[in-house]
Amino acid sequence: MSTLLVSHLAKRFDSFEALRDINLTLQTGEFVALVGASGCGKSTLLRIIGGLETRTSGGLEIDGTPITGPGRDRAMVFQDYSLYPWLSVMENVRFCRTLKSFAKDQSQAAVGAAIRRANLLIDLMGLARVRDARPDQLSGGMRQRVAIARALMAQPEFLLMDEPFGALDTQTREVMHDLILHVKDIERSAILFVTHDVEEAVYLADRVVVLAPNPGHIDSVWDIPLPPRTQDLKLAPEFLHYKREITQRIRATSGMVSDRATLEALAGG
């Protein structure tokens, strides 16, 4: 079991303080969702953990080894798919095997194993019939499945997902929710998942972390001890309880004014 440890992490962009004193742990097999009002630093934190942004101060390590940049132990999935339009589904999924980090492992056996894993991931994602298609021939949901399969190709210990289903319609999102939970059970990667959708966070996560803005900091952490997730669970009282409480906490920390007197004063000019 591997552990990602974030300790007293801070991030500044010139004079703007984006994150302050972030402390977080994530272990193999866990699903943790980050939620919070716009501007609280969810995506910035994810990018720092992924090695795409540098931290200003604080600790960031996996099993005692500091994170100083991108690595094969972490993979990211973005909302915009980030697929290569000139490559087929299979070629996109296998793309990471062409990078320099794999150059020393290009034996015939290794290449054969990579092809087998790519085929298995394509089958798992329900993409077998479009394995030779290009991204512009796929629906949004299919493109995101390709992006997830590509991220899993290198067998990362930590899968970092930045609002990956935000652009999808409701029905497709529900399919993707059940798919990612299935993938998590099979692959056992730890998943750190940024979303603005509290229902999505409660449905997917073992733990929901609420970030508050000005500057971004952890406001509260919610364990979600719900039974095995099915779509019917979203109607259960205990599910609605967590959704309501976390939503109210985000509203309380957002800094947005919503009291009736202020709104009436604004309407009155």
Other beta carbons within 10 angstroms of residue 125's beta carbon come to 22
- 86: confidence class by pLDDT, cuts 50, 70, 90: very high
pLDDT tens string 102-141: 555 567 777 788 889 999 999 999 999 999 999 999 999 9
pLDDT of 111:
75
- What proportion of the chain, given as a percentage, has pLDDT over 90? 77
170-187 helix and 140-152 helix, angle to the nearest 10 degrees: 20
Task: Quote the CA–CA distance of 4 and 75 in Å, as a whole number.
Answer: 13
For the cut 60, the answer to whether the pLDDT of residue 93 exceeds it is yes
| Percent of the chain residues past pLDDT 70, beyond the cut | 93
Q: At what angle do helices 140-152 and 108-124 cross, to 10 degrees?
A: 150
Domain extents in the chain: 3-73+156-267, 86-151
Confidence of residue 98 (pLDDT cuts 50, 70, 90): low
State pTM to two decimals: 0.90
Give the pair of three-digit tokens for residue 70.
């991108």
User: Does 55 have pLDDT greater than 90?
Assistant: yes
Give the integer Cα–Cα distance in Å for 144 and 154. Answer: 17
Span 184-197, average pLDDT: 94
What is the mean predicted confidence (pLDDT) over 5-18? 97
E-strand stretches of the chain: 3-13, 16-27, 31-36, 57-62, 65-66, 74-77, 158-162, 190-194, 207-212, 217-223
Q: What is the pLDDT confidence band of residue 263, given thresholds at 50, 70 and 90? A: low
Q: What is the mean pLDDT of the chain?
A: 91
Confidence at residue 217, expressed as pLDDT on a 0 to 100 scale: 97
What's residue 36's pLDDT? 96
Q: Is the peptide bond before 228 cis (omega within 30 degrees of 0)?
A: no
Architecture of domain 3-73+156-267: 3-Layer(aba) Sandwich (3.40)
Distances (CA, A) of 36 to 136, 173, 201: 33, 20, 11
Name the burial class of residue 64, with classes exposed (0-12), middle (13-18) and buried (19+) by CB atoms within 10 angstroms of its CB: exposed
Whether the CB-CB separation of 96 and 153 falls below 8 Å is answered with yes
β-strands 190-194, 31-36 pairing: parallel
pLDDT surpassing 60 at residue 258: no
101 conformational bin, left if phi > 0, alpha if psi -120 to 50, beta if neither: alpha
Tell whether the model's pLDDT for residue 100 goes beyond 60. no
pLDDT band at 31 (very low <50, low <70, confident <90, very high): very high
pLDDT tens-digit series, residues 194-224: 999 999 999 999 999 999 999 999 999 999 9
Check: CB of residue 45 under 8 Å from CB of residue 19. yes
Determine the straight-line distance between the first and last CA of the chain, rounded to whole angstroms. Answer: 59
